[in-house]
Structure 1
Amino acid sequence: MTSKWASTMSTTIPTLDSAGFGLPDVDTLARLANEFFAALPGGAAGQVPAPERFAQVPQPAVPGADALTPDAPGPLPAVPDAIGLEGRRAVDAPSQLDAHQPASPPSLGGAPGEAELRSLLAPVLSPGFGALTPQSAARPAYYFLETAQYGNPGIRVPGQVFSPAAVPELAGARPPFDVNLIRRDFPILGERVNGRPLVWLDNAATTQKPQAVIDRLAHFYRHENSNIHRAAHELAARATDAYEEAREKVRGFLNARSANEIVFVRGATEAINLVAQSWGRANVGEGDEIVLTQLEHHANIVPWQQLAAEKGAKLRVAPVDDTGQILLDEYARLLGPKTKLVAFTQVSNALGTITPARRMVELAHAAGATVLVDGAQSVSHMAVDVQALDADFFVFSGHKVFAPTGIGVVYGKEALLNATPPWQGGGNMIRDVTFEHTEYHDAPGRFEAGTGNIADAVGLGAAIDYVTALGMDNIARYEHELLAYATRLIRDVPGLHLVGTAADKASVLSFTLDGYKTEDVGALLNKEGIAVRAGHHCAQPILRRFGLEATVRPSLAFYNTCADVDALVAALYRLAGSRNPLRS
C-alpha cells in the first residue's frame, strides 16, 4: 500500500513542472495525498480539501505589507509576497492558511503517528528537509501538506503534512523559500517608523539580525561569559568552546582548509588595515605597485595609500566601463613585475557590480602578485569558496551577514599568515616573552592580541548557522529574482537614473532623481517608513567616475519582498509627480 503510493509520488511528481520550479500543482498534490489516505486502514479518501475551499480564508495581517499609492498613503492588500514567473506580485496562499485552523483536528480513521509516517514515507522524504514538522508546540498533532511553489496555494491535510520539496526525486526541485516565514525571524521588521511599517532597504550598510542571533548573544552572556583560553574554570571552557566553534563555522562558510586560516577582527575595515600594516609593511617596498579598482570602498583605498606613501610604492587603478563592470583588458595591462599586491572588491557597495573575481585572481597570480579580495558585500548574497577563488586574503564584516556589529574576519592562507609579522602586540598572541625577545603563536593567535570580541564572534557563528540553513544558493536565487523585479519597476520612474547597470549585479539599486538632492529623497522616503542610504557610500571615486557626488541607494536582502519594492516605487512616482502606471 504505502510502497505503491510512494512509487506513484516519486514517478509522477518529476514530470510536473507547471510553474517552472520542478514542483507539482496543488490538484496533483491533493490527488496524491487522497490516494495515500484512502490506502490507510479505515480509509480516509476525500480528507484533503480542494484548493478552492481556501479562497475565502481570512488573511492575517502581514507586517510590512502596507505600501503607498501614487496619490496618497494607503494599504496594499494584506497578503504575503512571492516572486511569480513574470516577476510580478503573487499571493503566497500557504502563509494565509496559518490563521485558519479547525477547532480540532478531524479523525483520520486510524492514520499513523509521526514516527510511523516517517518510516512509511522514507522512500520519498528527505530527512534533511524535516518534512514532518508540527505546526506549533501547542498543536503537536496538526500538520500541513503544502506546495513550495511560488504563488501556488497550499493544501491543508487534516492531521499530517507532506512537503513536496522533501522528495529527492524531484527533477530540478529546490527547498521552499518562504519569505514571509523568514521575516518572522527578524523582530525589527515589525517596527513602525513615522507611523508606518518599516521597509528596510539599507542592507548594504548593515543587515538586520534574526532572533536566533539575538538569543545566542543573550545565552552567551547568561551562561558562558568569560575570557577565553588558559583558565581552569567551567565558564572559561564554555566561552572558549563557543568562540572556537564560531571560528570553525566561519571556516566551513568560506570553505577554508583550516580554522587556523580564520582570524577574528572588528570588521572588514580593520581586516584590510591588518593586512596592510602587517603583510604590507613587511613585503611592499619602494617602487612596488599596488593595483586597485575604481569600484573600491574607501576602506580598500586609504590603507593602501598610507602604505604606499610610507614605502614609496605606487597605486594603480583599474577602470570600469559605463555599466560599472571592470575592464578586464585594462586591468590585465596594469599587472606586471612591479605589482606586489592586488586588492579589489567582489561586490561593489555603491553599484552592486559583481566583479569577475576568480579571473582577476588568476591574472594577478600570473604576474606574481599577492591578492586581497574584499568580501564585505558578497558574503550575504552568494556562496563564497576561498579555495576555488584562490585569493591569498579574503575579508568580510559580520554585520553585513546578519551578525552583530564589531566582528569581522580575515581569511589568509595558513603559510602566508604564519610568515606575516603580527600587527598588534599583547596578551593571547605570544608563546613566550622576555625583555629581550618575544616568540609569537602561529595563526590565528598571532593576530588576536588582547581580549577579542568573544560574544559577537559567537553571534557571527549563529548568523552563519542561520544563512546556511536557508542555503546561500537559495538566497542568491531569491534575491536575483527580487532585484530583477525591482529593476524593471524602478527604471520606469520618470526622471530616475540608475547608476550601475552591469549584467552581473547583487542587490543594489543606486539612482538619482531629477529635481531632488539625494539627501532630500532619503529624508522623504524616511517619512514613509522606507530606509535607504543617501550619500557617497564611502565610495567617492566610483561615483565621480559617473560624474556624481552622491546617489540614493536602496539595497535588498532575502527578507525583503515585492511589497517593499512596491512601496519604494510608489513613493518615487509620487516624488516624480507622476502617476504610477501599475496603480492606475
Structure 2
Amino acid sequence: MTLTQTRPLADLIRADFPILQQQVHGKPLVYLDNAATSQKPQAVIQTLVDYYQGYNANVHRGVHTLSDKATTAYEGARDKVAEFINARSRQEIVYTRNASEAINLVAYSWGLSNLGPGDEIILTVFEHHSNLIPWQLVAQKTGAILKFVELDAQQSFNLPQFQTLLSDKTKLVAVVHVSNTLGCITPVAQIAELAHAVGAKVLIDACQSAPHMKLDVQALDCDWLVASGHKMCAPTGIGFLYGKLDLLRSMPPFLGGGEMIADVFFDHATYADLPHKFEAGTPAIGEAIALGAAIDYLNVVGMEAIHNYEAALTQYLWNNLSQIPGLTLLGPAPDQDGFGRAALVSFTAGEVHPHDLSTILDESGIAIRAGHHCTQPLHRHLGVQSTARASLYFYNTLAEIDALTIALGEAIEFFGSIF
C-alpha cells in the first residue's frame, strides 16, 4: 500500500461533505477532530431533511401513510446496522441515544441483576468515562469490585497482565476496542475467548472502531457491543447496542413507558419482544433513518478501503509529528504500513498547554482536540494533565497533515520563545 495509491479516496469523496468546503479565519478548514465527532455527507443531511419535510410521523403506532413510511424506514435502518456488524438477527440491535446510553442500559439492566458482592469487573486504565462511570455506580450498588488492565511497554493493552486478573470471580470484561487517546487497538477477539473461558461476559466499546474498520460481532464473539452514530457520519442523538439474542431476552427493561410494552394493567405490565423492550418512548426517528443512510454511504465507500487509506494517513501523521522537536507522542507506533494503531495521535509539547496549541492552530483554520478526552484516569496514570489530539477520517488528506505539521511547528517555536 503506497500513499499514491491511497490518495484518490479523499479526492473522490470530499465534495460530499459540505462543511469541509468552508474557511475558518480566512484559511481552508482542516478538520482533525474526528474522534470527537465526524462530519456528515450530503446524503445523510438530505435524509434528515427528507424525513422532516416528507413523512414526519411517529413509528409503529399509526396505520396512516406517513406513519407506515416512517416505520418502514426506521426499521429498515435497523436491518442495515445488523448487517453492518454481522449480527445474527435484527432483534439483536437496540437503538439508543449514543454509546453512553447503551453501556448504561447494560449496566443497569444486566449489571444490577447479575452482579453481587465480590464479583469482579475488569476494565482498562484507558477506558472512556462512558465505560467507567456506569460500572463504578453499579459496583457501589452491588458490592462488585473493579479491576484494571494496565499498559504494556508500547502503551497498549497488557495481555499477560489481563490473564493474571481473570478468575472464577470475573463476571464481566468491558473494554474499549480502540483507545480514543492512545490509538491502540485492543485484541478484543482474544479477550472474549479468554473471558468466556472463566464464564465472564464481554462488552466492547466500538465507538472508535465502527467508523474505521469492518466489524463482525459473530467473529468477535462479544456479548454486547456499543457504538455512537455521530462518529460514523450519522447525526448526533443516535447510537446502538448489539447484544446476543438470548442474553437480551434475559435482561429486564431499562426504561419504562410507551413502545416497550405488550399489555399494561394497573398493577403490572408485560413487555414487547426484542428489540422494543429496551426502546421506551418516541425514538429519534429521523436520526435512526439517517444512521441507515450513513451506513449506506460507508458501505459504498467500503470499510476496507477506508481502513487501508487511513492506515497510510496514520503513518504519514505519525512520521510528521515525530519530526517536530519537543513533541511527545502517546500510544504505539504504527507498523511500516501504517497499521497497528488507529488514525489519531495524542501528544504533549513540554510546557505548552494543549489548549494554547489548539487555540493558535484554530487561527490557521486547523481544528484539533485539547484536554483529557474523557480519559482523566489515563492521563493521571501517564502523569500528564491533558494532551492535544489530531484525529483523522477518510476525507482527510496528506496536504492537511502537512498544514498541521507546519502550523504546529510554528506554534511550538513561538511558545518556545516565551518559555
Please name the residue that 2:293 is paired with.
462
Q: Which 4+ stretches in 1 moved above 4 angstroms? A: none
1:136-215 matches, cutoff 5 A: 149=5, 177-215=8-46
Is 1:542 the counterpart of 2:378 in the alignment? yes
Q: Could you list the per-position Cα deviations for residues 185-223 of structure 1 after superposition, in whole angstroms to 9, with x for gaps in the alignment?
A: 000001111111110000000000000000111111111
AA aligned opposite 2:60:
H
Which of residues 104, 116, 141 is equivalent to 1:310?
141
State the 1:230 CA deviation: 2.6
The CA distance in 1 between the partners of 2:190 and 2:115, in whole Å, is 23
The CA distance in 2 between the partners of 1:436 and 1:186, in whole Å, is 52
Which of residues 121, 124, 127 is equivalent to 1:290?
121
Q: Could you list the per-position Cα deviations for residues 222-270 of structure 1 after superposition, in whole angstroms to 9, with x for gaps in the alignment?
A: 1111000131100000000000000000000010011000000000111
State the 1:502 CA deviation: 4.8
Please name the residue that 2:170 is paired with.
339
Please name the residue that 2:347 is paired with.
511
The CA distance in 2 between the partners of 1:415 and 1:398, in whole Å, is 25
Contact 2:9–2:395 under 8 Å retained in 1: no
The CA distance in 1 between the partners of 2:131 and 2:9, in whole Å, is 36
Is 1:381 the counterpart of 2:226 in the alignment? no
AA aligned opposite 1:515:
E
Is 1:218 the counterpart of 2:49 in the alignment? yes
Q: Could you list the per-position Cα deviations for residues 476-518 of structure 1 after superposition, in whole angstroms to 9, with x for gaps in the alignment?
A: 0000001101111111101011011255211111001123111
Is 1:483 the counterpart of 2:314 in the alignment? yes
The CA distance in 2 between the partners of 1:502 and 1:569, in whole Å, is 18
Q: Which has the higher contact order (CA 8 A, sep 6+)?
A: 2
Please name the residue that 2:417 is paired with.
none
Which of residues 191, 194, 197 is equivalent to 1:363?
194
Alignment CA distance shift 1:331-1:502 (3 Å): farther
Please name the residue that 1:412 is paired with.
243
Please name the residue that 2:410 is paired with.
574
Q: TM-score, normalised by structure 2?
A: 0.96
The CA distance in 2 between the partners of 1:536 and 1:530, in whole Å, is 19
Contact 1:200–1:530 under 8 Å retained in 2: yes
State the 1:324 CA deviation: 1.7
Q: Secondary structure in 1 aligned to 2:262? A: strand
Contact 1:296–1:348 under 8 Å retained in 2: yes
Please name the residue that 1:354 is paired with.
185
Please name the residue that 2:69 is paired with.
238
Answer 1 or 2: which has greater strand percent. 2
Q: Secondary structure in 1 aligned to 2:351? A: coil
Identical amino acids, percent of aligned pairs: 52
State the 1:380 CA deviation: 0.9
Is 1:530 the counterpart of 2:366 in the alignment? yes
Please name the residue that 2:266 is paired with.
435
State the 1:284 CA deviation: 0.8
The CA distance in 1 between the partners of 2:154 and 2:286, in whole Å, is 41
The CA distance in 1 between the partners of 2:372 and 2:249, in whole Å, is 37
Contact 1:202–1:554 under 8 Å retained in 2: yes
Contact 2:96–2:279 under 8 Å retained in 1: yes
The CA distance in 2 between the partners of 1:178 and 1:547, in whole Å, is 38
Alignment CA distance shift 1:502-1:413 (3 Å): farther
Answer 1 or 2: which has greater helix percent. 2
Q: Secondary structure in 2 aligned to 1:227? A: coil
State the 1:180 CA deviation: 1.3
Contact 1:292–1:315 under 8 Å retained in 2: yes
Contact 1:325–1:502 under 8 Å retained in 2: no
Unaligned stretches of 5+ residues in structure 2:
335-339, 415-419
Q: Secondary structure in 2 aligned to 1:184? A: helix
* RMSD, matched Cα: 1.2
Q: Could you list the per-position Cα deviations for residues 413-443 of structure 1 after superposition, in whole angstroms to 9, with x for gaps in the alignment?
A: 0111011000100111111011122111121
State the 1:577 CA deviation: 2.2
Q: Could you list the per-position Cα deviations for residues 53-89 of structure 1 after superposition, in whole angstroms to 9, with x for gaps in the alignment?
A: xxxxxxxxxxxxxxxxxxxxxxxxxxxxxx23xxxxx
Contact 2:9–2:394 under 8 Å retained in 1: no
Contact 2:9–2:309 under 8 Å retained in 1: no
The CA distance in 2 between the partners of 1:188 and 1:264, in whole Å, is 27
Task: Provide the aligned length of Structure 1 versus Structure 2.
Answer: 409
State the 1:575 CA deviation: 1.9
The CA distance in 2 between the partners of 1:229 and 1:461, in whole Å, is 18
State the 1:468 CA deviation: 0.6
The CA distance in 2 between the partners of 1:184 and 1:393, in whole Å, is 36
Q: Secondary structure in 2 aligned to 1:473? A: helix
1:391-406 matches, cutoff 5 A: 391-406=222-237
Please name the residue that 1:450 is paired with.
281
Is 1:559 the counterpart of 2:390 in the alignment? no
Is 1:501 the counterpart of 2:320 in the alignment? no
Q: Secondary structure in 2 aligned to 1:479? A: helix
The CA distance in 1 between the partners of 2:122 and 2:351, in whole Å, is 38
The CA distance in 2 between the partners of 1:360 and 1:205, in whole Å, is 26
State the 1:547 CA deviation: 1.1
The CA distance in 2 between the partners of 1:201 and 1:358, in whole Å, is 29
AA aligned opposite 1:547:
G
State the 1:178 CA deviation: 2.8
The CA distance in 1 between the partners of 2:234 and 2:155, in whole Å, is 29
Q: Secondary structure in 2 aligned to 1:457? A: helix
The CA distance in 2 between the partners of 1:576 and 1:518, in whole Å, is 11
AA aligned opposite 1:370:
K
Q: Could you list the per-position Cα deviations for residues 15-40 of structure 1 after superposition, in whole angstroms to 9, with x for gaps in the alignment?
A: xxxxx78xxxxxxxxxxxxxxxxxxx
Greater Rg over alpha carbons, structure = 1
The CA distance in 1 between the partners of 2:224 and 2:274, in whole Å, is 13
The CA distance in 1 between the partners of 2:182 and 2:203, in whole Å, is 20
Contact 2:173–2:202 under 8 Å retained in 1: yes
State the 1:333 CA deviation: 1.0
The CA distance in 1 between the partners of 2:171 and 2:198, in whole Å, is 9
Range 508-517 or range 403-412, more displaced: 508-517
Q: Secondary structure in 2 aligned to 1:287? A: coil
Unaligned stretches of 5+ residues in structure 1:
1-19, 22-82, 85-148, 152-176, 579-584
